[in-house]
Each structure stands twice: as C-alpha cells, then as structure tokens.
Amino acid sequence: MRELLTRIISGIAMILIALGAAVVGGYYFAVLVAAAATAMFYEWMRIVRGWGIHWAIGGFVYALLPAIALLWIRDRSGDHGLSLLLWAFIVTWATDIGAYFVGRSFGKRKLAPSISPGKTIEGLWGESLRRRYLAEHGSWQPALESRFSSWRRCSQLRHKPATCLKASLSAGLG
C-alpha cells in the first residue's frame, strides 16, 4: 500500500509539472522535453553499456524522436496543438496506469526481468487493451479543446493564472 501511495504522489507531481509546462509552452516546455530526452538517453546508455556504438546511436535516436514529436505537436498553430498534446499525455498516462494495475493483479510471466523486473506480459496486454479503448472512444477530445482554448485566450491577455483556470474549467459547462 505504501508503494502505491508513493507512486500516486510522485505521479501527481510529475503530471502537474508536465501540464504546467505544456500549457505555458515555449521555452518552459522545450526545457522539460529536453530534460526528459536526456534522462531517456542516460537510462538507455546504462542498459547498453559495452554493447557498441550502434546501440548508442540507436538510443540517441530513440530519445530524440519522441522529443521532436512532442515539440512539434505542442507548437502546432492555435489551440489544436495543446489539445493534441494533452490527448497524447492522457493516453500515455492511462495506458501506464492500466498496465500497472493489470500487471499487479494478474501478472505472472515476467516481460524483461533483467531490464525492468516488475513488468509482466499480462501488464503489457492490459496496456494494449487500454490504449485501444481510448483510441476508439476519444469522443471527449473536443471538450479538451474547448477548455484549453479558453485558457490560452485568457493567458494571452495576461490575466492571473487563477482567473484563467476558472475560465478554462467553466468553458465546457455552458
């Protein structure tokens, strides 16, 4: 139970940081994405240490491509880029959560014990099913666009963040 509480608290903190940087955009989001890509590459290099230069180059590409994709999605014109980015975040977070709980509840067969001992094949299936469900039932994406276009208009007018938050939360309710 204590491990789950630690995961929830750290997850909420990371979500708040990611959402804050995503909404603000610009250099704040770019720095966060660069830090995440650097951490990915560092972790990759720890795993493949001594495997050769091809693995290092592959890891660089592995860390660089998602970073470029996130920056490209966020910087799309208008509010649509922020909505797409938030959709990508929601799908990622939901599938990770699904994988965790399915793996904990039903997991028996280890997926890659030398790399990540807690991951199971059953958790992988849970993640895949959750991702498919979200992809097929993404009908609430327009509500995201409505709320965050309101936030963006408000923040461009240099209103206080609390005022913008109230406006964005009430945007889809009327």
Q: Residue 143: is its pLDDT beyond 60?
A: no
Check residues 172 and 27 and name the one with the higher pLDDT.
Answer: 27
Tens digit of pLDDT for each residue in 5-53?
898 899 899 999 998 898 888 899 999 999 999 999 999 999 899 999 9
Q: Residue 138: is its pLDDT beyond 50?
A: yes
Residue written as token pair 């327009």: 142
Check residues 168 and 135 and name the one with the higher pLDDT.
Answer: 135
Residue 82, Cβ density class (10 Å: 0-12 exposed, 13-18 middle, ≥19 buried)? buried
User: In this structure, what is the dihedral angle of CA atoms 20, 25, 28, 29, given to the nearest 10 degrees?
Assistant: 80
Q: Residue 90: is its pLDDT beyond 50?
A: yes
